Structure 1
Amino acid sequence: MIRIDIKKELHGSTGKMNLDVNVEIKNGDFVALAGVSGSGKTTLLRILSGLENAEGTLKIDNELWLDKNVFLPPQKRKIGFVFQDYALFPNMNVLDNLLYVKKDKELAYYLLGITDLSQLAKRFPNSLSGGQKQRVSLCRALMNKPKLLLMDEPLSALDPHLRTKLQNEILQLHKEFKTTTIMVSHDPSEIYRLSNRVIVLNQGEIIKDGLAKDVLLKTSGSAKFSLEGELLEITKVDVIYVAIVAIGQQIVEVIISSEEASTLKIGQKVNVSTKAFAPMLRQN
């Protein structure tokens, strides 16, 4: 069990704010941290890892990592950290990057085998693709069989196809090593696919906490689906107004009323929802 009860003053996206998180996480859970940029997600990971200090307490099972008298340094916390920018040692080959954490060649080659990296063991990071570097980073984070695996948007720089492949590998490794995992992500499909619990932060506080479906599902009332996107353009075709909306990697057209055309603004976030076969557009 991970018990987190911490406070820290931050400078967020709208000025000063207080990170105030009091939550318990079960061993073996895969928790996704979501929320707008500047809400405190990455800072929370850094506090858990020991890269930043805070007021309060942090306890993993029966081991105290943080309180008013204790601050366990990162190297003494049994954690793995997967950074967005890989953070590999450029002067070490793939195998040596893993062995730097723990001199266990059997485990290193086992991890490289699971992630299809065995043939690249002697290659250096500058010769690897982004996806390969992220695999190495993930393997290195698991070399000491951590109690807690922390990931800060680990797949955000990858294309959708590669993201899906690595998501499957992350889930496989999470289950096999029975590691408690906390991941920061802005990708709803990634959160839904990987996590069994979603915690949403806003201005340093938890505003939602539950199953991915309950937290992420945007439909309401009798709407059959609802997708969030960005309004790119409004055009008039004869007497009909058409909104061009970017949803993820796709661009869609939605017919709107003249009143909606006059009130909607290019660049704003909108929800595209439908009842049966009649799409509707409303301001987010």
Structure 2
Amino acid sequence: MIRARIKKRLHGAQGEFVLDVSLEVGEGEFVALFGPSGVGKTTLLRCLAGLDLPEQGSLVVNGETWLDTAARINLAPQQRRVGYVFQDYALFPNMTVRGNLEFALRKGADKKRVDALLDLMELGELQHRKPDALSGGQKQRVALARALASEPRLLLLDEPLSALDHEIRQRLQDEILRLQRHFGLTTLLVSHDVSEVYKLSRRVVVIENGRTVREGEPATVFGSSQSSGKFHFAGEVLAIEPADVVFAVSVLVGNQIVRIIATADEAAKLRVGSRVMLLSKAFNPMLQVVE
């Protein structure tokens, strides 16, 4: 269990504001932080990692105090058992893939962990290459493996896939989800992508102007009820779930998730990632596949 309270004065595009957020995250839970740029999401991660110090704050992880400004407790980043994946990879350019992973090992740790991660992440054939010889997707896989090398109690992902194209991004989303479940890692993700939040997280915390304004399951937080009348919107299928004798299809339309009931025949024509047109005839929304 992680309990955190972070309060820090920041300067944004609209002037000065205060980041004032409380978080409680269960062990092994995957939580997304969502909101506009410049509202303090990255600063929150950096404070949890020990890279920034809040004016006021506390952080307790599984009963161990990592931060308590009132008691003047502030563990150094290397003492916090945090894995951090940055948007720009932050790999050491003078080290090979293996060297980057070995550098992240805890003192005295068995180097067999590096071999295991290279195998798990399918990086064995790349282990002797340096970052400048890797593609963006390969660099991000190395960055993720390096974050796991330290055996973290908390994994922080700061828009780790935003610079990648759609196909690679989707593959790495699957990889992140597989690894998070494999290691049972408590994970916090910063993302501006609603479909990514929906796919990866079980709970989303929406932050605006430095404060939490909504939180809950992604389908609830981003859900949208449509009024009657004719309309048509392009969207992307996020999930297809059986519901008794029909199927519930979750479709991303802009930044909203709409749930539509489909028959078995209609659902058979769909797949996650399909582009669809959301149509309405009177009170009955329909889905039409467009690719």
Q: TM-score, normalised by structure 2?
A: 0.77
Work out the CA distance in 2 between the residues paired with 1:77 and 1:18.
Answer: 25
Query: Cα gap change, 1:225/1:189 in structure 2, threshold over 3 Å: closer, same or farther?
Result: farther
Pair 1:60-2:56 in alignment: no
Kindly report the root-mean-square deviation, in angstroms, between the aligned alpha carbons of the 2 structures. Answer: 2.4
SS at structure 2 position matched to 1:208:
strand
Match of 2:165 in 1: 159
Number of equivalent positions? 239
Match of 1:23 in 2: 23
Match of 1:121 in 2: 127
Shift, 1:152, TM fit: 0.5
Match of 2:273 in 1: none
Match of 1:252 in 2: none
Any conservation in 2 of the 1:141–1:149 contact (CA below 8 Å)? yes
Once the two structures are superposed, the pairs formed by residues 132-147 of structure 1 within 5 Å of their partners are 132-147=138-153
Match of 1:34 in 2: 34
Query: Cα gap change, 1:163/1:275 in structure 2, threshold over 3 Å: closer, same or farther?
Result: same
Match of 2:212 in 1: 206
Once the two structures are superposed, the pairs formed by residues 1-284 of structure 1 within 5 Å of their partners are 1-54=1-54, 55-67=56-68, 68=70, 69-102=72-105, 104-222=110-228, 274-276=279-281
The one-character-per-residue Cα deviations of 1:219-243 (angstroms, maximum 9, x if unpaired) are 4345898679xxxxxxxxxxxxxxx
Match of 2:267 in 1: none
Work out the CA distance in 2 between the residues paired with 1:39 and 1:85.
Answer: 20
Work out the CA distance in 2 between the residues paired with 1:137 and 1:189.
Answer: 22
Work out the CA distance in 2 between the residues paired with 1:226 and 1:190.
Answer: 20
Shift, 1:247, TM fit: 6.1
Work out the CA distance in 1 between the residues paired with 2:75 and 2:20.
Answer: 20
Work out the CA distance in 1 between the residues paired with 2:174 and 2:222.
Answer: 20
Give the fraction of aligned pairs with identical amino acids, expressed as a percent.
49
Q: Which runs of 4+ in 1 moved over 3 A?
A: 218-228, 276-279
Work out the CA distance in 1 between the residues paired with 2:227 and 2:211.
Answer: 28
Match of 1:258 in 2: none
SS at structure 2 position matched to 1:113:
helix
Any conservation in 2 of the 1:218–1:227 contact (CA below 8 Å)? no
The one-character-per-residue Cα deviations of 1:185-234 (angstroms, maximum 9, x if unpaired) are 01111111100110010000001110011112234345898679xxxxxx
Unaligned runs of 5+ in 2: 236-252, 256-276, 286-291
Work out the CA distance in 1 between the residues paired with 2:226 and 2:79.
Answer: 47
Work out the CA distance in 1 between the residues paired with 2:10 and 2:179.
Answer: 33
Work out the CA distance in 2 between the residues paired with 1:113 and 1:205.
Answer: 41
Query: Cα gap change, 1:178/1:201 in structure 2, threshold over 3 Å: closer, same or farther?
Result: same
Work out the CA distance in 1 between the residues paired with 2:234 and 2:33.
Answer: 20
The one-character-per-residue Cα deviations of 1:226-281 (angstroms, maximum 9, x if unpaired) are 679xxxxxxxxxxxxxxxxx969xxxxxxxxxxxxxxxxxxxxxxx97534899xx
SS at structure 1 position matched to 2:74:
coil
Once the two structures are overlaid, the 10-residue window that deviates more, 102-111 or 20-29, is 102-111
Work out the CA distance in 1 between the residues paired with 2:197 and 2:218.
Answer: 7
